[in-house]
Amino acid sequence: MKGQTQNFTVSSFTDLPDLLIEELVVPPSISAGQEVSVTARIVNEGLGPAKQFTVDFYSDDEIFQSVPSSNSLDPAEATNIQSTWVAVEGVHTLSAEIVDISPQDEDNSNHENQVIVQVDDFIDSQNPMVFITEPYQNEVVSGLVVVKGTASDNNNVERVEVRVAPNNWQNANGFQNWAWAWNTSLDLNGRYTLEARSFDGQNYSVIYSVNVEVTNDGANRRPTANLKSNLMELYILDKIIFSGNTSSDDSQVVKYQFNFGDSKETDWITDSWIEYYYEEAGEYEVALQVEDDEGVRSSSSDTVSIIVNDKPENHNPMAVIQSPQTGTTYFSDKLVQFSSQGSIDTDGDELLFTWSSSLDGELYTTPNFFAESFLSEGVHFITLTAVDSAGGSDSVSIQITMVLPNSASEDPILPSIAMLSIITVIALVSIFYRHKSNFR
């Protein structure tokens, strides 16, 4: 049989605690309006444990906060009890008093401590800074991870807060050099975002973040969201596609949730992509969360930034008929050549041309400048309509006449030309025979 070693604190019923405030700690420099951390260091110098107690904090004899202890305090141990005081310009006496000690305290004469502070009328316009030095970006971690970093400010670093996004912020230990412990074995495997920020009593720093990969043996892995878009900049009402196709998991990603950054988001859907449009101009941060086939969701979202612009004013194109020319007559057995060369769009949009006839209806719709068609006999009003990609349009019309081929003989000019040709042939033949007679 194998025994186990355990430590016990043994005291008699007559062993009482003896609590005292060893020191009262405040920042060395305090400005008006600053949220100041006032810390009372409580020490138990008695032989018995203090099961519970409360520390009252005062400013100029007016209580501003009572903080109960969260744990018992054993003999020869110490703990820090912290409160927050909003500083007011001037000289003030800050004090703390231990009350409600159970069991009763052995010596009640040392339950108070105080400090005098000078609060300046100072407006701190400079934000503090914070950095995470460990772990580094994309590091693979497991077990107990100690997150370390630094913080600085032109006046004072009052506290540093750390979290695994999107969980609640927690205070780190330390100020200029700080640390915070994270037990990754309590979380699933996967990709996580660590965030840190510092506070100087008036302003928070910009959040500093690093992404890490948690890999613990025997644990399920959280899925990792990966968001892509086919556009990074577009106009209002234009379509954009967001895709989570490249999201990953050790098994299978089965659900997706898209947040479009304009107070709208999808439910948890099975489609890995979605088409969307924005109704207002602005810059939007779109986020994607994913869920695997075991119901586990990604620890953090993946994001992309999209810029949506107002649509510029569209100008109508200008339609030009290069051919046929107005007033021209054509034979109906011949193709008529149509040309829209010279048509332009000042916005640079592509144009679509539609040719139509008052007698034969629509002839062609084409993006090309050239077309050709047979037309029926009669007087035609030919119309060209040019339409740009934004819907702007312009039209122009001309008049041409189509005649039957045999109607050409009715033209009084053509018989004259035929007669002239016959006379010319006769003259040539006469000259030939006269020239031949001279050689005999």
Architecture of domain 19-120: Sandwich (2.60)
> Residue 120 has what pLDDT?
82
What is the pLDDT, as a whole number, of residue 155?
81
Intervals of the chain under pLDDT 70: 1-13, 122-124, 407-440
Residues of the chain with CATH 2.60.40.10: 19-120, 129-214, 228-309, 314-426
The angle formed by the CA atoms of residues 330, 332 and 336, to the nearest 5 degrees, is 60
Residue found under tokens 């640079």: 348
CA–CA distances in Å: residue 129 to residues 34, 172, 196, 254: 17, 15, 10, 40
- Classify residue 417 as exposed, middle or buried by CB count within 10 Å of its CB (0-12, 13-18, 19+): exposed
Q: What is the pLDDT of residue 7?
A: 55
* Helices and strands (DSSP H and E) totals, the chain: 1, 31
CB count, 10 Å around CB of 399? 13
Contact 38, 24 (CB under 8 A): yes
- The angle formed by the CA atoms of residues 253, 254 and 256, to the nearest 5 degrees, is 90
pLDDT recorded at residue 427 = 59
CATH topology classification for 228-309: Immunoglobulin-like (2.60.40)
Whole-angstrom distance, CA of residue 115 vs CA of residue 120: 16
Tokens of 243: 């895709």
Residue whose token pair is 């040719």: 355
CATH class of 129-214: mainly beta
Homologous superfamily in CATH for domain 314-426: Immunoglobulins (2.60.40.10)
Rounded (10°) CA dihedral 394, 400, 402, 405: -130
